[in-house]
């Protein structure tokens, strides 16, 4: 069943999207109707106005999920499962012409010829201006200048139409004809393009690791694929073309010889290494510019303009020939492209960093599979499961090993007949180390439980210690003044700043992580309890005092109930912040936990896993908050009505 | 028209989602990623602007703290060349479908060490005693790869160990503090600290004998390689020239140390363990028909392969090429 769902995730997504769209509209319809119904009998600002309204929650969740489906290209995959494959074939065409387009003014403002010419001419001028004075002999200096002039001349020769060789013109013509042929084929597609058998056997989009099948699975795709191969051959031909007329060739040969000679014969002051070096550096710079021109492709502007028209026409036609595919791409592939790289086609844009909802669910189920031996769980631990917890482990956790050392007597020794007879102290040690079987109890286990355990323990201690302290700070001058500087000094420090210290103090076990979370929870609980306690109305306190209540009773029956709403809000906030700190805490020494999964997933850019952990933490936070809201509703029904 | 609409849509979406669209950089500059505290001779060329002169464009250098971040920046289009990216992040990026390729070896260095806590009495001869012990490893890094290789060579079953994911600095602290029995470390400073309280499980000679080594790569985006092969060739040429003119003189060390953000002695120490192969050596040893580069990437890919991932060993060779070394 799960496998079937996993293989047909596009279909599943399509059904879900349709449901979401209908619930989106239905909830708006119902919500508007309800609003009209109640409009008249509610005053603005009345808290009753916010009660209920599940339909708007449905609307909000549907919107969120629809946006997620849309931007992760999940809706594209659901309704147009072949689109990515076809776009991949189009991307192949773009990849094939990219060596040519990059030399033309198609994706940039100027052609490469132009930038090469301008840049190198400028550099030649600069070089000429800083010709060092005492390094070259006058004869050499003249020759160096000549080399630079020759290079300059070479540039202008290449850029002048009169000097272009007939052979080069013919080659360019052939290339333009090649592009025209492709344009023609794109405009009037031959019938009968079919997908090969091995292409159809590929897994569909998003099922396996190379996300998008590379071979064309549709007729349109097959056409682009074949034309991309033609275009690649043309690009290769283009890269081979050299704009070298006989005159230019002669000039190159001459200049090359001059450079070689100049490099070889340092005719002045060989003795001074500084001068030799300066000379070598200068010649290297001259040679570099010359080589760049020699290897570079500089063509006259007209020649390039014609090429540009040919390529641009072909690319425009490729765009037009997409037909319905173009519309799908525009509407369903927002903010990104399908890119062809050397071995595969990949989604670049939100499709990459925002995994599709169905993929996230699939990853979650793979992770949640308790069968660790067969690929379930993560790094050898389940996500959330149960196990038999030996009671001896709990005992050994409570009794420190060192305590046994203080018991009277010595540990057992080897007998003379070579056997070991443990005495009572050895037994006690075994107990303290958890080596004795005392039965087992079922216990939750897994990454989520480990994280949850850390948060809950930290929260427990945070509330247990923070609330009384906060309340006493609210009622006692001594407590307030004594603890205020301490609490306020450490409270604003971000938890991550403590992290390096925690590791040294507590080591790698749970206690360090719990302590880090506790520090976060504690500060918030103190502040909220204190604010709650100081917020009690004076008239109420005086009234109870005059009715004969003692200090204890005032605290119990007046201040505490008044502080409870603030304390509860404090708990809600600190649970949220604890989850936020968890990732940092589990970065210290990661063995298990949701934050650990995220930290490891980050190092391999596994976005699906990252989103699974984000959603797990989000939903756990949400569940806690809902529970707290329920508790608040039960515990302090007077909130907001006092 | 469609393209325009799409661009408008994508531009506005990108602006909304990221708080500002990433601007396509001008064609007249090349963006290079590098590591601080990782001293290489080409930093002299970087400081002297030799790259800019030789390539004829502005070369902009941005420092990163991990190779994964380099990949991310390359995918976002902000970086064209990543100099000295670790092999591990490169391979995992390719496994995730990133359109990047390896064009050269930046530096060869001894594999990262795993330090066993002094006093445990464990060395390579009785390494099986490590079973059941706790080990700090920065997961999915070259140190992780080295750790798995050591354990393979020494015949230690890693599934019995408790492996703790810790950054090198944290691992060194935990080793000193005694909460882990072995820590696998990269980076000069952390290794020095770990060396105070522990000893490497394998000596340099043993590592060489077992064929365990590490190298950093020069990786580029596919787009940059196809569109600007000339610039890429010049970049590598200048790099190799500065490697060749490296004499470790005081003036050179000072310049590199200043750029790497370290003091001269640490720089000297770090660079004494580095080998910078020439282009010819690379073509022969790394990028030949049975080159080291593909073999290392494949074996690393297998270590980090996630369940159900594509067949790394068959494909990774295609994105490793020595063609730009000429």
What 3-state DSSP class applies to A396? Answer: helix
Quick one: pLDDT band at residue A52, thresholds 50, 70, 90? confident
CA distance B40 to chain A (A): 21
Percent of chain A past pLDDT 70, that is, above it, reads 98
Whether residue A7 contacts residue A206, with contact meaning beta carbons closer than 8 Å, is answered with: no
Q: How many residues does chain A have?
A: 642
Nearest residue to A86 via CA among A324, A256, A260, A272: A324
Residue B32 has pLDDT above 90, yes or no: yes
Q: Which of residues 402-461 of A touch B (CB under 8 A)?
A: none
Residue A459 neighbours by CB under 8 Å, 6+ apart:
A517, A521, A571, A574, A575, A578
CA B99 to chain centre: 17
Rounded mean pLDDT, B23-31: 61
Residue B17 has pLDDT above 50, yes or no: no
Hey, are the CB atoms on A335 and B14 less than 8 Å from each other?
A: yes
Percent of chain A past pLDDT 90, that is, above it, reads 31
Residue B14 has pLDDT above 60, yes or no: no
Residue B2 has pLDDT above 50, yes or no: no
Q: How does pLDDT run across B101-152, given as a tens digit for each residue?
A: 999 999 998 888 899 888 888 888 888 888 888 899 988 888 888 898 888 8
pLDDT at A190: 82
Q: Which of A331, A353, A375 is the last residue of a domain?
A: A353
With beta carbons under 8 A apart, name residues in chain B contacting A323.
none
Phi, psi of A94 (to 5 degrees): -65, -40
Q: Is residue A273 part of a domain?
A: yes
| Residue A147 sits in the same domain as residue A285 | yes
Q: Which of A50, A71, A92 is the last residue of a domain?
A: A71
CA distance between the termini of chain B? 43
Domain ranges of chain B: 22-110+213-325, 113-210
pLDDT at B67: 87
pLDDT at A46: 76
d(CA A565, CA A575): 16
Burial class (CB in 10 A: 0-12, 13-18, 19+), A129: exposed
Hey, are the CB atoms on A341 and B99 less than 8 Å from each other?
A: yes
Residue B4 has pLDDT above 60, yes or no: no
Whether residue A30 contacts residue A55, with contact meaning beta carbons closer than 8 Å, is answered with: yes
Q: Which residues pair with B81 in a beta bridge?
A: B32, B220
Nearest residue to A371 via CA among A439, A446, A297, A260: A446
Whether residue A182 contacts residue A227, with contact meaning beta carbons closer than 8 Å, is answered with: yes
Quick one: pLDDT band at residue A138, thresholds 50, 70, 90? confident
pLDDT at A196: 85
Residue with tokens 């002299």: B44
Residue A28 has pLDDT above 70, yes or no: yes
Q: How does pLDDT run across A61-73, given as a tens digit for each residue?
A: 999 999 999 999 9
Hey, are the CB atoms on B28 and A115 less than 8 Å from each other?
A: yes
The 3-class secondary structure across chain B, one letter per residue, is: CHHHHHHHHHHHHHHHHHCCCCCCCCCCEEEEEEECCCCCCHHHHHHCCHHHHHHCCEEEEEEECCHHHHHHHHHCCCCCEEEEEEHHHHHHHHHCCCCEEEEEEEEEEECCEEEEECCCCCCHHHHHHHCCCEEEECCCCHHHHHHHHHHHHCCCCHHHCEEEECCHHHHHHHHHHCCCCEEEECCHHHHHHHHHHEEECCCHHHHHHHCCEEEEEEEEEHHHHHHCHHHHHHHHHHHHHHHHCCCCCHHHHHHHHHHHCCCHHHHHHHHHCEECCCHHHHHHHHCCCCCHHHHHHHHHHHHHCCCCCCCHHHHHHHHECCHHHC
With beta carbons under 8 A apart, name residues in chain A contacting B319.
341-343
Residue A346 neighbours by CB under 8 Å, 6+ apart:
A211, A212, A338, A339, A352, B97, B98, B99
Counted domains in chain A: 3
Q: Which of A327, A353, A379 is the last residue of a domain?
A: A353
Q: Which of residues 334-393 of A touch B (CB under 8 A)?
A: 334-336, 339-344, 346, 348-350, 352, 375, 379-380
Whether residue B153 contacts residue B145, with contact meaning beta carbons closer than 8 Å, is answered with: no
Nearest residue to A490 via CA among A524, A459, A467: A524
| Residue A66 sits in the same domain as residue A111 | no
Q: Is residue A395 part of a domain?
A: no
Residue B181 has pLDDT above 80, yes or no: yes
Hey, are the CB atoms on B165 and A346 less than 8 Å from each other?
A: no
Residue B20 has pLDDT above 60, yes or no: no
d(CA B168, CA B137): 8
Indicate the pairing of strand B81-86 with strand B29-35: parallel
Rounded mean pLDDT, B269-297: 85
Cβ count within 10 A of residue B183: 33
Among A285, A341, A504, beta carbon nearest to B173: A504
Nearest residue to B79 via CA among B88, B87, B68: B68
What 3-state DSSP class applies to A133? Answer: coil
With beta carbons under 8 A apart, name residues in chain A contacting B165.
589-591, 596, 599-600
Q: Which of residues 302-321 of A touch B (CB under 8 A)?
A: 319
In Å, what is the CA distance from A130 to each residue of A113, A145, A282?
26, 11, 9
Structural domain boundaries enclosing A294 = 79-353
Residue B317 neighbours by CB under 8 Å, 6+ apart:
B294, B297, B298
Whether residue B220 contacts residue B133, with contact meaning beta carbons closer than 8 Å, is answered with: no
pLDDT at A31: 92
Q: Is A599 left (phi over 0), alpha (psi -120 to 50) or beta?
A: alpha
CA distance B179 to chain A (A): 6
| Residue A60 sits in the same domain as residue A171 | no
Residue B251 neighbours by CB under 8 Å, 6+ apart:
none
Rounded mean pLDDT, A494-515: 82
| Residue A14 sits in the same domain as residue A97 | no
CA B59 to chain centre: 21
Residue A324 neighbours by CB under 8 Å, 6+ apart:
none
Hey, are the CB atoms on A606 and B306 less than 8 Å from each other?
A: yes
Same fold, B22-110+213-325 and B113-210: yes
pLDDT at A269: 53
Quick one: pLDDT band at residue A611, thresholds 50, 70, 90? very high
- What is the H or E stretch that residue A556 is in? none
Sign of the CA dihedral with B57 first, then B63, B67, and B72 last: negative
Cβ count within 10 A of residue A165: 16
Quick one: pLDDT band at residue A224, thresholds 50, 70, 90? very high
Domain boundaries B22-110+213-325, corresponding CATH code: 3.40.190.10
Q: What's chain B's average pLDDT?
A: 82
Among B165, B222, B310, beta carbon nearest to A210: B310
Among B99, B141, B227, beta carbon nearest to A99: B227
DSSP 8-state code for residue A337 = E
d(CA B284, CA B274): 19
| Residue A44 sits in the same domain as residue A157 | no
| Residue A90 sits in the same domain as residue A64 | no
Phi, psi of B110 (to 5 degrees): -65, 145
Hey, are the CB atoms on A508 and B179 less than 8 Å from each other?
A: yes
Most confident of A71-85, A263-277, A589-603, B120-134: A71-85
- The reply to whether ipTM tops 0.90 is no
Rounded mean pLDDT, B223-233: 87
Give the helix ranges, DSSP H, for A102-200.
112-129, 138-159, 166-187, 197-200
Please give the residue that has the higher pLDDT: either A593 or A113: A593
Q: Is residue A383 part of a domain?
A: no
Q: Helix axis angle, B67-75 relative to B87-95, nearest 10°?
A: 40
Residue B307 has pLDDT above 70, yes or no: no
Whether residue A367 contacts residue A377, with contact meaning beta carbons closer than 8 Å, is answered with: yes
Residue B167 neighbours by CB under 8 Å, 6+ apart:
A587, B138
d(CA A409, CA A411): 7
Q: Is residue A361 part of a domain?
A: no
Nearest residue to A160 via CA among A240, A99, A248: A248
Residue A270 has pLDDT above 70, yes or no: no
Q: Helix axis angle, A273-295 relative to A138-159, nearest 10°?
A: 20
Burial class (CB in 10 A: 0-12, 13-18, 19+), A39: exposed
Quick one: pLDDT band at residue B16, thresholds 50, 70, 90? very low
- The 10 Å CB-count burial string (b at 16+, else e) for A610-632 is bbbbeebbeebbeebeeebeeeb
Cβ count within 10 A of residue A157: 21
pLDDT at A133: 79
Q: Is residue A248 part of a domain?
A: yes
DSSP 8-state code for residue A50 = G
Q: Looking at the structure, give the CATH architecture of the domain made up of residues B113-210.
A: 3-Layer(aba) Sandwich (3.40)
| Residue A190 sits in the same domain as residue A132 | yes
CB pairs under 8 A between A and B: 158
d(CA B283, CA B175): 40
Whether residue B52 contacts residue B58, with contact meaning beta carbons closer than 8 Å, is answered with: yes
d(CA B184, CA A627): 43
Residue B12 has pLDDT above 70, yes or no: no
With beta carbons under 8 A apart, name residues in chain A contacting B101.
342
Residue B310 has pLDDT above 60, yes or no: no
Hey, are the CB atoms on B97 and A346 less than 8 Å from each other?
A: yes
pLDDT at A265: 63
With beta carbons under 8 A apart, name residues in chain A contacting B4.
none
d(CA A119, CA B53): 11
| Residue A184 sits in the same domain as residue A268 | yes
| Residue A277 sits in the same domain as residue A334 | yes
Sign of the CA dihedral with A281 first, then A282, A287, and A292 last: positive
The C-alpha angle with vertex A551 and arms to A547 and A556, in degrees rounded to 5, equals 90
- What is the H or E stretch that residue A636 is in? none
Q: What's chain A's average pLDDT?
A: 86
| Residue A29 sits in the same domain as residue A145 | no
| Strand residues in A498-633 grouped as ranges (E) | none
Range in A215-219, B79-83, B204-208 the model is least confident about: B204-208
Whether residue A263 contacts residue A283, with contact meaning beta carbons closer than 8 Å, is answered with: yes
């Amino acid at each position: 069943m799960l496998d079937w769902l996993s293989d047909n995730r596009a279909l599943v997504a399509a059904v879900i999207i349709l449901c979401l769209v209908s619930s989106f509209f239905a909830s708006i319809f119902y919500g508007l109707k309800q609003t009209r119904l109640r409009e008249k009998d509610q005053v603005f600002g009345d808290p009753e106005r916010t009660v209920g309204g599940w339909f708007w929650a449905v609307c909000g969740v549907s919107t969120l999920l629809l946006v997620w489906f849309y931007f992760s290209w999940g809706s594209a995959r659901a309704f147009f499962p072949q689109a990515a494959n076809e776009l991949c074939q189009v991307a192949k065409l773009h990849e094939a012409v990219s060596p040519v387009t990059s030399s033309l003014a198609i994706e940039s403002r100027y052609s490469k010829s132009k930038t090469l010419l301008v840049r190198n001419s400028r550099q030649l001028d600069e070089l000429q201006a800083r010709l060092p004075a005492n390094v070259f002999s006058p004869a050499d200096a003249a020759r160096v200048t000549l080399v630079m002039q020759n290079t300059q001349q070479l540039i202008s020769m290449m850029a002048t139409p009169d000097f272009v060789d007939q052979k080069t013109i013919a080659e360019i013509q052939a290339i333009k004809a090649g592009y025209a042929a492709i344009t023609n084929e794109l405009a009037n597609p031959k019938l009968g393009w079919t997908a090969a058998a091995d292409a159809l056997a590929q897994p569909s989009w998003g099922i396996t690791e190379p996300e998008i099948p590379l071979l064309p699975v549709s007729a349109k795709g097959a056409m682009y694929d074949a034309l991309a191969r033609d275009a690649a051959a043309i690009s290769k031909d283009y890269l081979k073309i050299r704009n070298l007329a006989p005159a230019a060739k002669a000039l190159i040969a001459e200049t090359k010889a001059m450079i070689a000679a100049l490099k070889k014969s340092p005719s002045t002051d060989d003795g001074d290494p500084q001068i030799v070096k300066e000379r070598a550096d200068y010649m290297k710079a001259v040679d570099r510019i010359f080589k760049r021109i020699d290897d570079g492709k500089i063509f006259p502007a007209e020649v390039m303009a014609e090429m540009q028209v040919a390529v641009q026409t072909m690319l425009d036609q490729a765009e037009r020939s997409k037909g319905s595919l173009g519309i799908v791409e525009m509407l369903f592939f927002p903010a990104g492209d399908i890119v062809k790289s050397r071995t595969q086609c990949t989604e670049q844009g939100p499709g990459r960093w925002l995994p599709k909802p169905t993929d996230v669910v699939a990853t979650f189920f793979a992770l949640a599979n308790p069968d660790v031996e067969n690929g379930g769980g993560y790094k050898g631990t389940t996500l959330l499961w149960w196990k038999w917890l030996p009671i001896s482990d709990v005992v050994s956790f409570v009794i420190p090993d060192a305590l046994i050392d203080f018991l009277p007597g010595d540990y057992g020794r080897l007998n003379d007949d070579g056997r070991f007879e443990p005495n009572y102290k050895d037994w006690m040690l075994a107990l303290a180390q958890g080596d004795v079987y005392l039965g087992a109890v079922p216990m939750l286990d897994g990454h989520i439980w480990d994280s949850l355990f850390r948060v809950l323990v930290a929260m427990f201690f945070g509330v247990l210690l923070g609330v009384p302290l906060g309340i006493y700070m609210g009622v006692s001058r001594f407590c307030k003044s004594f603890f205020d500087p301490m609490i306020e000094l450490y409270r604003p420090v971000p938890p991550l700043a403590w992290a390096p210290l925690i590791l040294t103090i507590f080591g790698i076990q749970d206690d360090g992580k719990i302590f880090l979370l506790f520090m976060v929870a504690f500060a918030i609980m103190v502040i909220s309890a204190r604010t709650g306690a100081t917020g009690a109305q004076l008239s109420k306190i005086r009234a109870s005092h005059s009715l004969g209540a003692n200090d204890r009773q005032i605290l119990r029956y007046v201040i505490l109930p008044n502080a409870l709403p603030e304390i509860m809000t404090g708990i809600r906030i600190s649970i949220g912040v604890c989850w936020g700190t968890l990732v940092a805490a589990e970065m210290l020494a990661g063995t298990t936990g949701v934050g650990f999964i995220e930290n490891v997933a980050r190092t391999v850019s596994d976005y699906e896993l990252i989103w699974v952990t984000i959603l797990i933490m989000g939903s756990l936070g949400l569940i806690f908050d809902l529970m707290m809201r329920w508790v608040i509703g039960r515990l302090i029904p007077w909130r907001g009505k006092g | 028209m469609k393209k325009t609409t799409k661009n408008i849509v994508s531009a506005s979406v990108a602006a909304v989602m990221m708080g500002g669209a990433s601007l396509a950089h001008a064609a007249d500059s090349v963006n290079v990623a590098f590591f601080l505290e990782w001293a290489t001779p080409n930093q002299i060329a970087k400081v002297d602007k030799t790259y800019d002169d030789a390539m004829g464009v502005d070369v902009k250098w941005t420092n990163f703290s991990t190779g994964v971040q380099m990949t991310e920046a390359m995918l976002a289009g902000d970086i064209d060349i990543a100099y000295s990216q670790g092999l591990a992040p490169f391979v995992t990026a390719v496994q995730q479908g990133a359109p990047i390729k390896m064009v050269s070896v930046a530096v060869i260095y001894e594999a990262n060490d795993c330090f066993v806590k002094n006093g445990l009495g464990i060395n390579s001869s009785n390494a099986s005693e490590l079973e059941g012990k706790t080990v700090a490893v920065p997961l999915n890094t070259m140190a992780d790869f080295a750790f798995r290789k050591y354990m393979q060579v020494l015949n230690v079953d890693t599934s019995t160990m408790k492996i703790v994911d810790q950054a090198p600095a944290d691992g060194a602290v935990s080793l000193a503090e005694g909460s882990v029995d072995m820590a696998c470390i990269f980076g000069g400073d952390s290794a020095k600290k770990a060396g105070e309280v522990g000893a490497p499980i394998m000596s340099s000679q043993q590592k060489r004998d077992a064929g365990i080594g590490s190298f950093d790569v020069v990786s580029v985006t596919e787009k940059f390689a196809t569109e600007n092969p000339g610039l890429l060739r010049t970049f590598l040429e200048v790099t190799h020239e500065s490697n060749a003119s490296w004499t470790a003189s005081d003036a050179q060390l000072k310049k590199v140390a200043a750029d790497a953000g370290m003091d001269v002695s640490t720089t000297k120490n770090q660079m004494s363990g580095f080998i910078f192969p020439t282009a010819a050596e690379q073509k022969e040893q790394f990028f030949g028909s049975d080159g080291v580069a593909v073999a290392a990437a494949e074996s690393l890919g297998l270590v980090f392969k996630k369940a159900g991932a594509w067949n790394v060993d068959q494909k990774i060779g295609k994105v490793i090429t020595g063609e730009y070394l000429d």
